[in-house]
Amino acid sequence: MTLDLLLVCLGLFLLQGLAAVPWLLALSRQSFRTQLPYFGKVVGIVTLGGILFAFLLGGNSGPGIVGIWGRFYSSILTLQVASDLFVLTFYLALTFWSKGGAVALAAFREAVRQPMFWLLTLAGMLIMGLAIVIPYFTFGEDLKMVKEITYALTMLIPAVFGVISASISVSEEIEGRTAVTLLSKPVTRRDFLLGKFFGITLASGLMTLLMSWVLVWVVLAKLHYDFQPSVTQLPPDPEWLNTFIAKTYGVAVPGELLRGAGQFVHDCSEALPGITIGFGQVITLTAVSVALATRLPMVVNVIMCFVIYLLGHLAPIMTEASQRVPLVYFFAQLFELLLPALENFDVSSAVIRDVPLDPGRYAIYTLNVLLYALTYTAIAMLGGLILFEDRDVA
């Protein structure tokens, strides 16, 4: 073990400890000042962990093993940073939108505590894991199939959860008259409905985050599972990572550790646009479900959202295929105008390309799709507020 390796490991573990502070504070529900002795112990544990990690890498200094440890470290840090973003979001909501933020936090906790949340999440992860070993008979294109399956699951399962959770949470509180108690306090109907939507959307976002984390590992595992040295080649590291490693530790153990960490960051950056586009569909369908839940019971709401999902994908095809049938063409155009254009959230054509898309143009397209999702969400929530305004909840 060298001094450079020890310093790098201590620095990395200290970064993990700092990233853990926000969500640990959120779990403890106490102020930072009262938790100072506890966090002193955390710093000591982190320091000890960094020293032990340095000894572990010093005894297993193979580049492949060190690189895997770097990826694993970076993946844990990614989860912690994402958890911090959730904590920060709720902190800002409770600070600047106290009433709606409280409703959103309650809806988020209710959604995450449901067995359905973990059942759907674990089922999606299991299917992703099985996708690694399933033969597809695609003559060397199995990786593309795995990417298409994992991205589709990451987009579909959180959307299903968001629709069902919204239809249950909103309609049950209205039909069960429990909304009367909440609305009798200084909480407006707008705060109630928007808070419900915000909390359920964040719960769906948490599910998307967990499944996306598994997605990155599954794609990496499939890449190495099908790797044949004499036939296929692993994708090269990005230029920025090679430049950074060359300027720091080179091929030494600390450099390989940082290389593995940077590789996972690169994998996440490649997956992020597709995941963001898919999450746009989750937001849109959840908003539609929340709006319909103000008037419809849960079963009817879910069926309506399923019909909207089908028509949203089929309307452009119906419009193209029915140009010679005026009546069908009229209704197809009407569906395409009123219903969300869900084909915009399909990323299969982007993730299965042999040549990667231009990062700049891909980012602009992702922002456009996200803007469309937010616009349609705003329209759906406005309609829900109008429907809920004169709904009798007493």
Whether residue 31 lies inside any domain: the answer is no
Which is higher by pLDDT, 212 or 49?
212
Structure tokens at 247: 């300027």
**CB–CB of 150/131 below 8 Å?**
yes
The yes-or-no verdict on residue 342 having pLDDT over 90 is no
Whether the CB-CB separation of 13 and 47 falls below 8 Å is answered with: yes
Q: pLDDT band for position 394 (50/70/90)? A: low
pLDDT-derived band at 124, boundaries 50, 70, 90: very high
Buried b (16+ CB within 10 A) or exposed e, 281-307: bbbbbbbbbbbbbbebebeebbebbee
Q: Are 299 and 307 in contact (CB under 8 A)?
A: no
pLDDT tier at 358 (50, 70, 90 boundaries)? confident
Q: Please give the structure tokens belonging to residue 138.
A: 């695609």
76 within some domain: no
Residue 336 lies in a domain: yes
**Model pLDDT for residues 290-320, shown as the tens digit of each residue:** 999 988 888 999 999 999 998 888 888 888 8
Q: Which of 218, 333, 349, 382 is nearest to 277 (CA)?
A: 349
Q: Please check the confidence at residue 158 and state whether its pLDDT lies above 80.
A: yes
Query: How high is the pLDDT of residue 292?
Result: 92
Alpha-carbon torsion (246, 248, 249, 255), positive or negative: negative
pLDDT of residue 179: 59
Higher-confidence position of 218 and 35: 218
64 part of a folded domain = no
pLDDT at residue 113 in the model: 92
**Are 313 and 342 in contact, with CB atoms under 8 Å apart?**
yes
What 3 state SS string does 46-114 have? HHHHHHHHHHHHHHCCCHHHHHHHHHHHHHHHHHHHHHHHHHHHHHHHHHHCHHHHHHHHHHHHHHHHC
| Number of domain units in the chain | 1
Q: What is the pLDDT of residues 54-79, one digit of tens each?
A: 777 777 666 678 888 889 999 999 99
Query: DSSP letter string over 164-227?
Result: HHHHHHHHHHHHTTHHHHHHTSS--HHHHHHHHHHHHHHHHHHHHHHHHHHHHHHHHHHHHHS-
pLDDT tens for each residue of 84-97: 999 999 999 999 98
pLDDT of residue 32 exceeding 60, the answer is no
Per-residue tokens: 62: 């193979």
Residue-level pLDDT at 45: 77
Averaged pLDDT for residues 271-298: 92
Q: How confident is the model at residue 231 (pLDDT cuts 50, 70, 90)?
A: low
Higher pLDDT, 380 or 335: 380
Supply the Cα-derived Rg of the chain in whole angstroms.
24
Whether pLDDT at 233 is above 80: no
34 in any annotated domain: no
Who wins on pLDDT, 41 or 279? 279
Contact 77, 167 (CB under 8 A): no
Report the chain's mean pLDDT, rounded to a whole number.
84
- Is the pLDDT reported for residue 354 higher than 70? no
- Residue 80 domain flag: no
In a domain, 334, yes or no: yes
What pLDDT does 52 receive? 79
Q: Which tokens sit at 318?
A: 């119906």
Is 90 exceeded by the pLDDT of residue 280?
A: yes
Q: Is position 236 within any domain?
A: yes
373-381 CB contacts, 8 Å cutoff, 24+ apart: 373/280, 373/281, 373/283, 373/284, 373/345, 374/280, 374/283, 376/284, 376/287, 376/340, 377/283, 377/284, 377/287, 380/284, 380/287, 380/288, 380/290, 380/291, 381/193, 381/194, 381/197, 381/287, 381/290, 381/291
Return the percentage of the chain with pLDDT > 90, whole number.
36
pLDDT band at 178 (very low <50, low <70, confident <90, very high): low
pLDDT of 6 higher than 90: no
* pTM of full prediction above 0.85: yes
Instruction: Provide the pLDDT for residue 61.
Output: 66
Give me the helices (H) in 294-358, please. Answer: 298-321, 326-338, 348-351
Measured distance between the N- and C-terminal CA atoms of the chain, rounded to whole angstroms: 70
User: CB burial class (10 A; 0-12, 13-18, 19+) of residue 230?
Assistant: exposed
Rounded CA gap, 243 and 264, in Å?
A: 16
Domain boundaries, position 112: 98-389
Q: How many residues does the chain have?
A: 394
- Which residues fall within 8 angstroms of residue 145, CB to CB, at 6 or more apart? 131, 136, 138
Exposure b/e, 158-188, CB count within 10 A at least 16 = b: bbbbbbbbbbbbbbebbeeeebeebbeeebe
| Nearest alpha carbon to residue 182 among 103, 300, 271 | 103
